[in-house]
Structure formats: structure tokens, C-alpha cells
Amino acid sequence: MAKFKLTFLALLTATMICLIGFTLTPQIPIVNATQTPDILWMPLMDLSSVSIGPDNGTFPDSPLGEYDPPPYWEYLPVNVWIVADEEFRSKEYDTTYLQKLSWSDYAKNVVERSDDRLYEIFGIDLCIVAVSTWESDNSKYGDEILIDAISKTGFKAETRVNGNHINILIAFTGQYLGYVAGTYVSKRAIIMTATAYWADDNVLRHEVSHLFGCLDHEDSNDPCYFLDCIMSYRKVPVEYWMEDGWIWYVGCDVSLAAISNNWCSKCWSTIVWKKIYFLCPRCVGNQFYMMR
């Protein structure tokens, strides 16, 4: 009987210690793949009505949210490997009025413009360390094209290219995907199409946010759906959009995922926590996200 009492007391003491330790230990939020379907869709944007004109000072700049620059110790360099397939490389791309860029300059331009806001808010710096090509399989469709790029480049987190460790792969394709862009979180790879100069940087910023643990705010059941957040699929009417001294007369509804420059508090805190262990190759989720 005495032995039973001692055993019971030992178990009770161990249980209390575990509970106290769990309560006092800061808990890092972990995105659970079971919280959302593996594949999330967003309708393609119809931007056929968009036209462009010079900025004559009539319109104010497109609004940006207020922010406090991150302290220097929050700086996080993320090495990027850009690859483009033969369809994407086959033409030049419109930027501002009467200006075109080569495929490589356009891809780098998208990454650098996307990087600006990520650096301002979070100290995340997308550092382009390599630009390469890959021959995509024309029989593939959708996410299969991204998987094709990963396979043919041999990419995986911490792959070395030009002597540098690569943290993420961004594949640009000219093939029809059935969606705007997609993110394979467990592979740390993104696929992009060229949709519109003034929107592509925001689309990439949305996809990079997935790599840092953010989920889509897909419908009205999510309270963040109604906030000004780049992860929201809520469509808003856009009369015009100004960028690089030019105005695009849009005149249609556009998803916040393609135009917002802000993150809701939920997404902001998710990215801040994810930064702590982002460069650890083993700390990666399993989701695959697609924007249609």
C-alpha cells in the first residue's frame, strides 16, 4: 500500500511539473495543414479593361499602411533562385507606357518590387543570387508545372547555386496554369505568371507570405476576409492604380491579394514568429496554395 501511495505521488508531481512548464513556456503558433484544404483556389482576374496614362498630379499615390521600420537585428536575408521556362522567355513584357523589359529583367523587377514592402514591414530581404532557365513540359498543367520545375532544376531548400545557399525557388512560366500563381510550401517553391505589371509584385508578396505561414482569407467565414490584408481574396472596385509615375485606369473589381500592401494583425504575427526558424530546412509546412 505504501509503495502504491509513493508511485501515485510521484506521478502526480511529474504531471504538475509538466503542466507548469507548458504554461510558462512561450508557445510559438504552428500552422496546421489540417486547418485548411491542401489546395486553395482564387479566380483568374479579368483585367482586359485596363488602360494606362501618365501621372499629371491629378491622383494621389495608391495608399500604403503606416509602419515602423524593423530594428537591424530583425533583418532576414532570403536567397532566391529565379528560373524561367521557354514560354516565359519567348517575349518581352510591358511595364510602364511604351517601356518593355526582357524576361530576365522583368522577373528580377517583380522580385525586387515585391521585396520592398516585405523589407519595410518585416526586414525580409529577397536576395536574387541566380537567374536560370528550364524547359517546361507542355503536357503538364497547373501545379504539375511547378513540380516539373523543381524536378528539373534539382531544387531543394539549401541547394547551392553559384556558391550560395538557396532558400526559395521562384519559377516563372508562360504556360497557362489555370491560376495566377502557386506556392508549394513544403518545397519552398513558388510559380508565377505575368498578369499585370502593377499587380505582379503584390501577387508574389502574397505567395511569399504563404512561405512564412500565412493562410488565405478565402471567404466571409473568416473575419480577416473583410480587413485590408494581402492574404484576403475579397474583391474591391478599383478605379485607377498608380505606380512608377503612371496611372492604370482599371475600372473593375480586383482581389486584395493582388493590390493590398498590408497584413492583418493575425498574418503579421504569423510572419514575425515564422521568421525565427524560417532558415531551418526542417521547419517547413506541407501545404500547396494556388491563386487562380
pLDDT exceeds 90 at position 135: yes
Strand bridging mode 159-161 / 246-255: unpaired
Closest CA to 168 of 209, 203, 116: 209
Least confident span in 34-43, 169-178, 213-222, 273-282: 34-43
pLDDT in tens, 3-37: 434 444 443 444 443 433 333 333 333 333 333 33
Q: What are phi and psi of 291, to 5 degrees?
A: -105, 115
Which cell is 169 given? 525557388
pLDDT in tens, 217-236: 988 899 999 999 999 999 99
3-state secondary structure of 76: strand
- Residue 82: the pLDDT is 97
How many CB atoms sit inside 10 A of residue 242's CB? 15
Cα separation, 291 vs 187, whole angstroms:
17
Give the pTM. 0.75
- The alpha carbon of 230 is separated from its chain's Cα centroid by a whole number of angstroms, namely 9
- 71 pLDDT band (50/70/90 cuts)? low
Q: What is the DSSP letter of 179?
A: S
256: left (phi over 0), alpha (psi -120 to 50) or beta: alpha
Q: What is the DSSP letter of 207?
A: H
How many CB atoms sit inside 10 A of residue 73's CB? 6
pLDDT in tens, 141-164: 778 899 999 999 999 877 888 888
How far are the Cα atoms of 107, 254, 256 from residue 43, in angstroms, in the given order? 23, 10, 12
Strand bridging mode 76-84 / 168-172: parallel
Which cell is 163 given? 556558391
